[in-house]
Amino acid sequence: MSREELRDKLIEEAWEGLKNSYSPYSKFPVGAAAMGADGTVYRGCNIENVSYGLTVCGERTAIFNMVAHGCKTFTALAVVSKGNGDSAPCGACRQVLGEFCESLDTPIYIVGGDGKVLETTVGECMPYPFLKFEPQE
Give me the chain's average pLDDT, please. Answer: 94
pLDDT in tens, 48-62: 999 999 999 999 999
In angstroms, the CA 124 to CA 110 distance is: 13
What residue numbers does the annotated binding site for substrate cover? 46-52
Cβ 77 vs Cβ 35: under 8 Å:
yes
pLDDT exceeds 70 at position 133: no
pLDDT of the residue at 7: 98
Q: Report the C-alpha gap between 67 and 59 in whole angstroms.
A: 13
Distance in angstroms (rounded) separating the CA atoms of residues 43 and 94: 17
pLDDT above 90 covers what percent of the chain? 85
pLDDT the model gives residue 81:
97
Which pLDDT score is estimated for 79? 98
Superfamily of domain 3-125: Cytidine Deaminase, domain 2 (3.40.140.10)
Domain coordinates in residue numbering, the chain: 3-125
Instruction: Tell how far CA 109 is from the center of its chain.
Output: 9
Tell me the pLDDT band of 94, cut-offs 50, 70 and 90. very high
Query: How many residues appear in the chain?
Result: 137
Q: Summarize the annotated binding site as residue ranges.
A: 46-52, 57, 90, 93
Determine the residue type at 102.
Answer: E
Q: Which residues are catalytic?
A: 59
pLDDT at 134 > cutoff 70: no
Which residues lie across from 31 on neighbouring strands?
Answer: 45, 80
